[in-house]
Amino acid sequence: MGLEDRVRKLERRLQPKPAPPTLVGAYTRHAIDAFVDALVAHRAEISDEAALRREHGESAKDALSMAKIAVLEKHSDGRAALDAVCAAYQPLRQRREELRKERG
């Protein structure tokens, strides 16, 4: 290996490496973090709402899912979190529409 080859090899090694791709973009990460923070902040209220829904015959899964949305809709931080997450997650949008019809 000649001197020129070594210099080229060294130059390639010194080039900045591209950042590895992330699985989740910055906006999505922010939306997820806000959603989780809102869930944690209102967990007792969500638990109570889910219990009421289960008493009225909903399955545990559906009761919890709708309770999360119903409680978060009541609070400004929850609505902001839902709005951010709904932009990327169609099933959540559909559940919010179901809840609005249910209340309607």
State pLDDT tens for residues 65-91.
999 999 999 999 999 888 888 877 778
Residue 32 lies in a domain: yes
Residue 33 lies in a domain: yes
Residue 67 lies in a domain: yes
Residue 73 lies in a domain: yes
Residue type, 80: A
Q: CA angle at residue 102 from 81 to 78, to 5 degrees? A: 15
The closest of 78, 60, 56 to 69, measured between CA atoms, is 78
- The pTM of the full predicted model, rounded to 2 decimals, is 0.65
State pLDDT tens for residues 12-61.
888 888 877 777 778 888 888 999 999 999 999 999 999 999 999 999 99
Residue 52 lies in a domain: yes
Q: Domain span at residue 46?
A: 25-103
- pLDDT at position 54: 94
Number of domains making up the chain: 1
Question: Hey, what are 58's tokens?
Answer: 């909903």
Q: CA angle at residue 61 from 99 to 82, to 5 degrees? A: 45
Residue 34 lies in a domain: yes
Q: Per-residue pLDDT for 64 more than 80?
A: yes
